[in-house]
Structure formats: structure tokens, C-alpha cells
Structure 1
Amino acid sequence: MTAKVQTIELPAQTATDWFVPLGAVVVVFVMLVPLPAMLLDVMLSVNITASVLVLLSAMYILRPVQFSVFPSLLLLLTLYRLSLNLASSRRILLHGNEGASAAGRVIEAFGQFVVGGNYVVGFVLFLALIAIQYIVINHGAVRIAEVTARFNLDALPGKQMAIDADLNAGLIDEAQARSRREQITREADFYGAMDGAARFSQRDSLATVLITAINIVAGFLIGVFQLDIPFQDALKTYTVLTVGDGLVTMIPSLLVSVAGGMIATRASSQASLGLDLGEQLMARSRPLWIAAGVMMALALIPGLPKFSFVLAAAGAGALAWRAGQKKTAQEAAAAAAAAPAPASTQEQLDTLLKLDDLSVEIGYGLVPLVDEKQSGQLLQRIRALRRHLALQLGFLVPSIHITDNLRLKAREYVVLLRGVEVARWEMEPDCLLAISSEAAPPNLEGIITHEPAFGVAARWIAPALQQQALAAGYAVVDQTSVMATHIAEIVKQYAHELLTRQESKRLLDTLAAAQPKLVEELVPRVLSLGEVQKVLQSLLREQVSIRDLPTILETLLDVSAVTKNPVLMVEAARQALARALVRPLMSDDGKLKVLTLDPEIEGEIVKAFDPNAAASASGALQPSFLRRLLESLRGLLGEQLAAASPVVLCSSPARYHLRRMLEPFLPRLVVLAPTEIPTVVAVQSLGVLR
């Protein structure tokens, strides 16, 4: 028996993977081992370079989370800087008697050139930097990080709810919602880490002050009592070296602290800090002109240097003039962009002849419902509506174009299908629609009307009566919801006309990417694209979802071996979709409530039509037969409408023709065959059509 060796793939190692562990080893090495002056110079130079790099990186980020490594980097740089402080202190105390270069050329340069070799000036400058960093920058950065972290955590539930609301409304998909949740989680973690990391930098300043004081006192004592250096020489030598060391340490610390403050105060933007400053300071020329005037006024005051203030006034004036020119150019560009480009005669003709599959024309009084600048939400609702209908119907409905029409009444709208009006409705100004599901709705002050999508009783009421209407059992909706619901029902009613051959081809191509064998066997070997489209249209015509396209195509592939009659193929597809077909029709108690068809009427329908015929049946029977059937159906519906929305149950041979007979009069009525009802579904009869 041979043992199988399992190999585990590890992430690819890069040079940066070794940087942090190596840095930790270097910190320990620097703390424990005396360093030569040359190596100390190199490490101090690296410290200054890293601090400058951090500061510049903080200036060029667009969002704080783009530099999410900063809290950890701040900790590492602080430890590295403190270890260098220990190493330089060791060099100063052990070799300070060797001269100004005892601790390296970097410390010597800061002690001699920067402060001019004057240890008093250097010490005062060092104390000034300590005051600036500790009292101003560090304290402010700590406070900003603390407040930002607290407010960010407080806003976290609201951000999560906003993402869930956008997801439920269909404005974003699941992947976008997951990405946004990860982003706000990263932001919360970042600001929490910044709150703690800022305190490292604050305490680093105190440590530098203590180390400097210890170095001066200890160096003076060592020089005077152990090395017999004269009092004045010992004080000067060790003070200059210690102050130089303090400046070398303090300046990088100051740069990192400033970077931390910039990151903590940086709001999300589309440009770097420098571009934002230039864009916002020069957005308005008036403040710059005022500043130029103030500088010029100061230049006229006796005793003040005129050249300096005149130069400052000239600079501010030049910036003000440049800002004015830039604003004028932007306004001209915006006007040019807003102006429509002249279209050629052919383009105008093409636009004129183009028909939208689905469009809505509105009166001028309904424009605020569409205009997002006036808080109109209709466009947003329609975007969410298209997503919802795609999930419900199984294909993406065309874009719904909304235009204003001055020939309509102020608050009237018209729904057009390929340029032909299919629905029209007028709304009352400044009113809400109160909808009642009861046959005799409770009394409520308002304008009696009916809901446009389903035709139920409703009233236009004033917004002040909303609570009263809710208490009376009405459902109250705003005009945007009324319009969106009406459009949705129109789309469902005419979905079969919106499923074009091109859209059918797109559905098959999408499915072919996942199940190529199924599509390849069916189209075009067995059925043409047009035949598949007719089946899908017939299903949509009876408001059957085609989302389960694989099941439909597999059924067509099986049935087509026996018959290619469109009616029989549709009936077979409906039976394959039985569970999905019946589930939305069941009542809350889990029963399917139906109206059954009298066997005698059913027999007349079957005899009147050839089972293989696909034409409309409305002209194959006497008008009196159809009138009697409609009167019976409407009578039963009038009695049962308040309790349920029943369907008609009849045999399979009669189902298709009965549905075509009733469709012009009751387009939403569902006609089922017993073979389309799963055996586990309980059926309750509400009456018999005679």
C-alpha cells in the first residue's frame, strides 16, 4: 500500500514578505549591539527617508483606507526610531570625548550646521519642536483619530441599513452589496486602529525628551568625572551631540505625526490633497481679491516692509485673476456640453422613425415625480421595477422612456406600446391614493375613483387624512407608487409582445454558456428560433414565468419528437412548470381555490374546436354561449372576489381554447388543467360555471 503525499500550495513569497520580520530583527539588533558610526548614519538616513515617504504618501491618497497599513507602519517606525535613539545614545556616551563626529556624520551635521554649533540655540530649537509636536500636532491627531473612530462606529448600523435598502430596491446587486459591506468594515477597522496608533506617536515625543535629558546629564557627568574633560568643554560637546541626536530623531517623528493628522482629517475624494487644495482655494476668485486688497493695505502702513506685502498682494491678485479665468472657461465648457450637437438630416430622420418598445408620456404637472433634482423618485423606482420584473418574468424588459407631452392634461399620463396607447390615467394634485380591498369600503372624505392597475375601489385623499385612512383599513400609497404599479401591470399584461426574437436569441445565448448541449440539440436542429419564441410568448401571455428556461427547453426537446404543434408544446411546458405555476395562486391557508367548469359546457368547447388548432376560439361558438359563460363567471367572481382570487379549472383539451375565449374580457383570469396541479396541492371548489 503506497501512501499518497498531499502537497499544500503556499502563497507566493515576494521580497516584501521578508521586510517586516527582517525589520523586527534589525530593531532588536540595534538595541543590543553597539553600531559603528557609518552604519548608524545609514540607518538614520533610512529613518528620515521613510518618514518623508510616509508624509508624501499621505498627501497623494484619495481615501484614508488606501493607506490602511499606516497604523501598523506607525508602530514599526516608532520602534525603529526609539532603537536608533538608544544606539545613538550609546555612541554619544561611550565615544563623545572623540569629538563632534563620534556619533556619526548625520548627528554632527544636525548639531553643527543646523544649529550653528551653538548648543544653547540647538537646545531651544529642540524644545520648540517638542512643543510643536507634542502640544499641537500629536494632541490634535489623537483627538481627531478618537472622534473619527467613534463617529465611524456610530454610523456603521446606518450604513449597513442603507446598503440593505439599496439591495432590496434593486439599485445594486449582491456582489456590489458585499463589496460595500467589506469597504465600511475596513473603514471601521482602520479608524479604530488609528485611534490606538496615534497614541504611540504622542508618547514617542515624551520618550525623546527624557532620553535627551538623560544624555545631557549623563554625558556631562561621564566627561567631567570619568574622562577628566574640562567643565565647559564637556557641557558643550555632549549638549551639541545630544541636541543633534534629538533633532535627527524629532524631525522624522514630526513628519510621521503630520502624516497621521492628514490621514485622520482626510475625507474621501477623487483627487490628491494638492489637487483638492488648488481646486477648492481657487474655486472662487472673490476671497483672493479680498486677500490681495488686505495685503496692499498693510503695505501702506508706515513701518511695515512694503516690498514683502506688495509682493504678497501681487501673488494673491494673480491667483484671483487665474481663478476668474478658469471659472469663465468652465462655464463656457459646460454651456457647450449642454448645447445639443447639430444632427444631420439622416440622424434626425432615424430618430423620428424610431419607436420605443415601451414609453410613458406625462403631463407637465407630473414632471416633479420624474425630476430627481426635485426629489422625484419615479426613475429610481422604474430602474428597480425592471430588475424585479426580470426576476418575475424571466427576461429583461426594454428600457422605459419617459417624456413630457404638453397635449396631455397637467396630471395625466399615457403608457405606449411601440407608439400605440395601451393605458391612460389621471391623478389628482397633492393627493394620496387610499385603496380598499373591501367590496363596500368604509366612508372616507375624498374623491371616489379606482386603482388603475387592478381596478379596485379607491379614493383620492389629502395627505392630512393618511392616518385616518390607515385606521379605517385603507392602504395608502403616493402617486409615484401608483404610477410604478400601473406600469408594472402593463408590462406583465403585454410581456409576450415585448419578448422579441432578438431578446429570445439573447436568452438562448446566455443559457448556451452554461448548458451548451441543451441549446445545441434543440435550436436549430429540432425547432427554429421563431418556434421557440412563440412558445415562450404563449407562456408569458398567460403570465407564466420563463425564468426556468432549461426546464422549458428540455420539455420542448422531448415533446418535439412527437409533435411540433405550438399549442401542445405550450401545454407540455405548462405541465413541466406545474409547481412554479400553481404556487403563486395558492391562498394563505395553502389551498388552491378554483371555479370548475360544467362537464356539458366543457364538452361543447372540445367538440367545437380541433385540439390541434391554435387560432382564437371566440368565433367558433354561438354568441349566446359566450355571453352565458361570462355572466356565470362574473357572478361567481362578484361573490368570491373579497375572499379569494379563484382560477378556472377545466380539462386539458378545453383549457387552451377557454383561455383564449375569456382573455379579451378577463385578461388576468387564470385557467388551469388538472394535469398542471401537483398532487400535493389541496384544491377547493368555489363554484361551478354553468
Structure 2
Amino acid sequence: MSARDLSVLVGVILIIVMLVIPLPPVLLSVFILINISLALMVILVAMNTTEALEFSIFPSLLLLLTLFRLGLNVSTTRSILANAEAGGVVSTFGTFVTGNSALVGFVIFSILVIIQFLVITKGAERVSEVAARFTLDAMPGKQMSIDADLNAGLISEQQAKQRREKIENEADFYGAMDGASKFVKGDAIAGIIIVLINILFGLIIGMTQKGMGFSEAIDTYMRLTVGDGLVSQIPALLISTATGITVTRVASEGNLGTDVTGQMLRYPKLLYIAGATIFMLGLTPVPILITTVIAGIMLFGGWYLSRTAEQQEVPHEDEGEEQESSEMQSPENVVNLISTDPIEFEFGYALIPIADASQGGDLLDRIVMIRRQLAIELGLVIPTVRIRDNIQLNPNEYRLKVKGNEVAKGELLLDHYLAMSPGVEDDAVEGIDTQEPAFGLPAKWITEETKEDAEMFGYTVVDPPSVVSTHITEVIKQHAHMLLGRQETKQLIDHLKESYPILVEEVTPEPLSVGEIQKVLSKLLRENISIKNLPIIFETLADFGKMTNDTELLAEYARQSLSTQITYQFLQENDSIKVITVSGKVEKTIAEHVQQTEHGSYLALDPESQQSIVQSVAQQVEQLSLQEETPIVLCSPAVRMYLKQLLDRFLPQVVVLSYNELEPTVEVQSVGVVNVA
């Protein structure tokens, strides 16, 4: 335990001791001066903070100082009533204020208590309560604002996390200040009661036990009581003022002194008016000498501030031109011009309401949910989606870009609903014929009045925001492999290293670099295989990475390790998978035409054989599609990679699996065979 921690603990213990054990007058004077010093430090710190959270310890500190002050009150009261003495500090304060009249001193002290209790303490308590309430009420709006900035790409994930933590800390701080201010109020009430006790029982004890006369008793105990009250109320007044300053402080770039002088003197011409008004008062019985001096100071201040402001506002033309030229020539501006966002969503001006929260648009919130959903499904942190309007697009048109290239587009009618056909068109449902943008299904744009009829005929009816959200989700899934770069891969590796440090060290930087790992993960994502189970993938890379650095082959090994995941990903009804198998002749043809090079292997098949295989697969897929089944081609592990490469050019939607990627307990039903003549 450090010396600082020990000093705080000792201080709290001493406060408890003060409540029980009588202290000598000298020690009381020391503690009273320490109390005043601490109060001065607190108010100075409160005045020099730029925002409330910079003094986050204040609620707890306020409680400790209040307890310390009450402990002093108990000790001084004990000393006053028992010995008619409370140390030199209390006696000095009491004598200075009361002077020759104890009644005058008591009146002055009463005024100070009224100011402390009714003005400062009451106001600080009310401000703390209101600040806490408004801070809690504003939390949802602030959270939504952070999510909106994050989705718009204005801030990073780290910045968003910091801003969320700041909001939570503000709520905790103002809630704590609301409770702590009640202690300040209670302390003020206790101070008043202690003063009355000192006076009343001091008179009784002085006259009955110490043999004092009434005038001597009232003079002695009134002086000590007023002194004790002052040395306790002055620090209490400073603490209450610091409380008010802290909870009313608005975050700014400067402290209280800078803000007060800067904002009060922002308009120098007003000093002329104020100075002239003070000078006019000199024409009345008010002493003209005093008004002239004050008015002169104010007029001079107004003139000086006006001249200073003019010098700051008038820039030299040459300097302005040089600054503009240097900004245009700075390399940072050029770099900003050539940078591209990972994902961009652009829309025409008629679609602005879906993104504008003030008009009821919730696209930003939907994108937050999409990023979370894809992170769970794919195991990939999707970059922020840059959302912007584009006047070059048609009013109802939108488009999606990945790495600066357009990958999808569509149109929305905000005052319509999209009705997707159940398979049989019904002429009773009228609308504008179109295609569902995510899956290319036939659909219609229908009005609000037609919505119920379409649902009765079995149409699937969705609103425009849901249409575009689904489209964005599917497009990001299709291009997830493009969004995974080396930097993103490094972040995934660092995250995995926190839980599996030995596993990561066995894979990278030797035998596999970050770039090679990125290629393996990208190949998995390209075929819609989630990389969420990263430990299993790295176990495979650790086993086979020392044998080969062919990323195509390593991706195949990783797929086989993820057999359970892949099986349940494509598992259909009745716990079975319907597949199109590949004949032994086709597999033999592919295997015989695999060319091995130092940079890897590839399929060197003649065009006629390629066309024959592709046509056979297309026929089988077409028959399977009529049954509304997902087209899955099943082949041996040796040719899966090459067959997928071949089909990707013509039938990219076809899933190609190997026998090793399916669990042996799953029933596999062959519904077709790929064969060639």
C-alpha cells in the first residue's frame, strides 16, 4: 500500500477518533486550519477544471470533508462546553467578528448561515438533482448519436467506445453528486443546531457550574460559539460553492477564469455603456471621484479590448494567400482525396428520409444491427458503412460500393411496400412489377391500400427500409472476402492471441505470415464459410503450415477441420442433405489435368471438356432449383478445389463440398449425377 493510500485511511480513522476522544485546543486549531485549507483547494480545483469528469472524485471527497467538519464541530463543542475554550483559531475568529458586541457578532454569523443554507446549499442541491435527471434522460439520445457517427464513419470503434464510457461516467457522476449534495444540506442544518446548543447549554453551564454572571457567560460562550460557527461555516460555504460550480460547469476548452473573462469581455462596446452609466451616477449625490475613477477604468478597458480585437481580425493579405496556397499544396489534402471507404451506401435525394432520424428514418440503427449480425455469423468485424446522398443518382435509386467499386444497386419507392410472389401470380394484386434486389425474385411495389389483400393471397410484404437492409446484408456477405485485408487479419490474430497465445505463436510469423493467413481466411469467406471458429482454423494451420505454404491447399485442410460447422450450415429438413454427385469419370478427367507449379497448382482443362462439365452441372442444378432446393455438388477432396474454380466462372452460386467436409452421421441423398459423354 502506497503512502498516499495510507494517509487517506489514517485520515478517516482520525475523524472517527475526533468523535469520541477529547482533543487538546492546540490540535483543534491545527485541524481547523487543515479544514479551511482543504476547502480552499477544493474550490480552486473546481474553478480550474474544464469539465465535471475531471473532478470525478468530488462526490466521495465531499462526504469525507463533511464528516471531517462534523467531527471538528463535535470536538469544539465538547471543548467549549467543558472548558470554555476551543483553541486560538476559534477564539481569534470569534473576537474579530463580535468585537465589543456579542449580539452584533451573532447577527453577522446568522446572516452568513442564512446565505449558506438558503442560497448556496439549497441551490447546489437543486442543480445537482436537475443535472442528474437531465443527464440520465439524455443518455439514449447520446448513445444513438454515437452509433450514427460510427455508422457514418465519422469516428472509429475505439472513439465510440471512449464516448460511451464518458456518457456512463457522466451519469454516474451526476447521480453521485445528487446524493452527496444531500449531505451538504444536512451539514448546514447540523451547524445551525450545534450553534444553538453551544449558546443555550453554554449559558447554563457557565452560570450554574462555573459561577459566571449572565453578561460574562453570554460574552464568553457567544464569542466562542460564533468563532466555532465561522471556522466551520466558511469551509462549508466554500465546499457548497465548489459543488455549485462543478455541477453547473459546461464542458469547454478553458477553465472558469478563462471563460468568465473571455465571455464577459467579449463585447468591448458594452464597457462604454456601462462606464458612461457609472459616470452619470457621479452627477447625483454619489461621490463623483469614485464614479469617475471606475468609469475611466471601464472606458479604457473597452478601448483596449476593441483595438486588440481589430488587430486579431485583420489578417495580412499575403499571409492569407500563403496559408491558402500551403493548404492546397499539403500532402495530407492529396492523400484525403485518393482515399476510399471500405463500404459506401449512396442514395438519391428522394430516399433521404430513410437515413434521416429527424424524419423517422432508422437506417443507421439497422446498419448497426447488420454489423453485429454479420460479426456473429461470419466472425468478421465489418467496417463502418459510409452513408451519403448523391445527386447524380436518380431520386429513388441507391447503390452499394465496396472498396470504391459499385457492386449492387436498386430502387425504392418509399410510399409503397414490396410484395414478393409466393410462386403463383395473382392479377387481383395490382402494383408496379419489379425484382427483389437481394435475391432477384419477382415482386411488385404495392400501395398501403393493397397491402392487406396481398398478404391474404400469400405475398410476402416488406417495407422499403427492410428491403434495403436485406440487400445490404446479402451484398456484404457476398463480398466479405474483399473486406478482409491484412490489417483486419492482424486484428483478428491479436484478439485470438489474448486467449490462445501459444497457438498463435506456432502459426505466425513462422511458418505463415499475416498475408498468407489472410488469403486462407479470405478463401473461406469467399465460399460463405464463417471464420468465427478461428481456434480450429489455426489448429489446422499449425498442423499443416510446416508442410506447405500453398494457401489454396491450406484452405482445403481448414474446410475439412470445420466439417461439423459446414454440415450444419447446409443441413436441410429431416437431417439430410440433397446433393448432386460427381461421377468417377469426371473426377478422373479433372485430376489428370491438374498442373503443378512452384507457385501452386491449377486446372488445365481443354475448353470442350470444361463446357461439357459445366453444362452437366447446370442441367442438374436447374432440376434441383425447380424443387426449391439449394444446389450442392459433392465430390472427392482431391478435386473439390479445382471443380469450384471451374464452376465459379459460370455458376458462382453453386456450393461445392467434399466428402471429408460432411459428418459421417448425416444422411446424404443423391438427386443427380454430373457426367460427360
TM-score (structure 2 length as normaliser): 0.74
Instruction: Determine if contact 1:470/1:476 at 8 Å carries over to the other structure.
Output: no
Q: Residue type matched to 1:51 in 2?
A: A
Find the partner of 1:49 among 37, 40, 65.
37
Instruction: Determine if contact 1:362/1:411 at 8 Å carries over to the other structure.
Output: no
**C-alpha deviation, 1:661, in angstroms:** 4.0
- Offset from partner CA, 1:383-440 (integer Å, 9 cap, x none): 8867876775566778888888776655556666777x66453424645662637334
After superposition, residues 549-588 of structure 1 pair within 5 angstroms as 551-552=536-537, 555=540, 570-587=555-572
Instruction: Determine if contact 1:361/1:403 at 8 Å carries over to the other structure.
Output: yes
Moved more, 238-247 or 457-466: 457-466
TM-score (structure 1 length as normaliser): 0.73
Change over 3 Å in CA distance of 1:370–1:106 after alignment to 2: same
**C-alpha deviation, 1:307, in angstroms:** 3.7
Q: Please, which runs of 5 or more residues in structure 1 have no aligned partner?
A: 1-11, 97-101
Match of 1:82 in 2: 70
SS of 2:32's partner is: helix
Instruction: Determine if contact 1:138/1:201 at 8 Å carries over to the other structure.
Output: yes
Change over 3 Å in CA distance of 1:145–1:424 after alignment to 2: closer
After superposition, residues 454-603 of structure 1 pair within 5 angstroms as 454-460=439-445, 474=460, 476-478=462-464, 486=471, 489-490=474-475, 492-493=477-478, 514=502, 515-519=504-508, 522-523=511-512, 538-546=523-531, 548=533, 551-552=536-537, 555=540, 570-587=555-572, 589=573, 591-597=575-581, 599=583, 603=585
Counterpart CA distance in 1 for 2:188 and 2:274 is 39
- Offset from partner CA, 1:653-678 (integer Å, 9 cap, x none): 55445434432333122122232111
Match of 2:599 in 1: none
Q: Residue type matched to 2:106 in 1?
A: F
Match of 1:636 in 2: 624
Find the partner of 1:248 among 231, 239, 242.
231
Q: Residue type matched to 1:436 in 2?
A: M
- Offset from partner CA, 1:344-372 (integer Å, 9 cap, x none): 7x9999899x6969675957648958998
Moved more, 436-445 or 195-204: 436-445
Moved more, 646-655 or 115-124: 646-655
Instruction: Determine if contact 1:93/1:218 at 8 Å carries over to the other structure.
Output: yes
Match of 2:242 in 1: 259
Moved more, 369-378 or 39-48: 369-378
**C-alpha deviation, 1:129, in angstroms:** 1.1
Q: 1:341 and 2:330 equivalent?
A: no
Q: Residue type matched to 1:249 in 2?
A: S
Instruction: Determine if contact 2:540/2:558 at 8 Å carries over to the other structure.
Output: yes
SS of 1:594's partner is: strand
Q: Please, which runs of 5 or more residues in structure 2 have no aligned partner?
A: 596-601
Instruction: Determine if contact 2:418/2:445 at 8 Å carries over to the other structure.
Output: yes
**C-alpha deviation, 1:554, in angstroms:** 5.3
Counterpart CA distance in 2 for 1:64 and 1:504 is 40
Q: Residue type matched to 1:640 in 2?
A: Q
**C-alpha deviation, 1:126, in angstroms:** 0.7
Change over 3 Å in CA distance of 1:501–1:16 after alignment to 2: closer
**C-alpha deviation, 1:539, in angstroms:** 3.8
Change over 3 Å in CA distance of 1:112–1:25 after alignment to 2: closer
Instruction: Determine if contact 2:18/2:75 at 8 Å carries over to the other structure.
Output: no
- Identical-residue share of aligned pairs (%): 36
Counterpart CA distance in 2 for 1:393 and 1:686 is 29
SS of 2:238's partner is: helix
Counterpart CA distance in 1 for 2:174 and 2:358 is 36
Match of 2:46 in 1: 58
Find the partner of 2:24 among 11, 26, 35.
35
Counting matched residue pairs gives 654
After superposition, residues 412-491 of structure 1 pair within 5 angstroms as 412=397, 423=407, 425-428=409-412, 430=414, 434=418, 436=420, 438-440=422-424, 446-460=431-445, 474=460, 476-478=462-464, 486=471, 489-490=474-475
Match of 1:5 in 2: none
Counterpart CA distance in 2 for 1:195 and 1:337 is 50
Match of 2:607 in 1: 619
Counterpart CA distance in 2 for 1:403 and 1:162 is 16
Counterpart CA distance in 1 for 2:593 and 2:343 is 38
Instruction: Determine if contact 2:412/2:464 at 8 Å carries over to the other structure.
Output: no
**C-alpha deviation, 1:490, in angstroms:** 4.7
Match of 2:117 in 1: 134
**C-alpha deviation, 1:48, in angstroms:** 1.2
Counterpart CA distance in 2 for 1:317 and 1:351 is 44
Change over 3 Å in CA distance of 1:278–1:432 after alignment to 2: farther
After superposition, residues 213-252 of structure 1 pair within 5 angstroms as 213-220=196-203, 232-252=215-235
**C-alpha deviation, 1:125, in angstroms:** 0.8
Find the partner of 2:284 among 303, 306, 314.
303
